[in-house]
Amino acid sequence: MKIGFLIIDMQPVHLQEVDKKTINRACEHINYVSDVLRSKDHVVIHVQDNEGMSESNSDPYSIIPEIDVNEKDLIVGKEHSNAFWKTDLEQMLSERQVELVIISGFAAEQCVLFTYNGAAERGFRPVLLQNGILSTQSEVIASTYRDRNLISYAVVKYL
């Protein structure tokens, strides 16, 4: 089974109101899973929200330095909450025969959730990376975990 790992909106422009310690903890889980999946030739995709970006303000839209980006990783730009909407993400995953999509990043109540639903609507099997999603509202993370399929970082190496 081929796995796709989506790392959504880990950009300074979105993470300004999130506690640095919380960001670092999520990044540890995200980087660990990325490394495990890369070593087994799975797909790691960084999704960047480009809405509002221009040439003069592109720095806050870059991926934060705490996230490891490998030369084999793919990058998808988006302008909507669902990373599948009006992007090549579905095609990228389908071409690589991805079945399971692990989702991480920011924000649990918006882009992460909408992308999770978008993956399910397109026939992929989505799961959220436990301790790998962020929000400015901690109670949202608890309810997101309660209502969606989860995977622990420790389990990924056994897939």
pLDDT in tens, 67-99: 999 999 999 999 999 999 999 999 999 999 999
Distance (Å, whole) CA 54 – CA 118: 27
Q: What stretches of the chain adopt beta strand conformation (E)?
A: 2-8, 43-49, 74-78, 98-106, 125-134, 150-151
Q: What three-state secondary structure class fits 8?
A: strand
**Parent domain of 105:** 2-156
Q: Return the CATH number at 15.
A: 3.40.50.850
Task: Please indicate, yes or no, whether the overall pTM of this predicted structure exceeds 0.85.
Answer: yes
Domain count, the chain: 1
What's the Cα-to-Cα distance from 10 to each of 98, 114, 153, rounded to whole Å? 22, 16, 18
Q: What is the pLDDT along the chain (159 residues), one digit of tens a residue?
A: 999 999 999 999 989 999 999 999 999 999 999 999 999 999 999 999 987 666 666 677 799 999 999 999 999 999 999 999 999 999 999 999 999 999 999 999 999 999 999 999 999 999 999 999 999 998 899 999 998 999 999 999 999
Q: Are residues 33 and 68 in contact, defined by beta-carbon separation less than 8 angstroms?
A: no
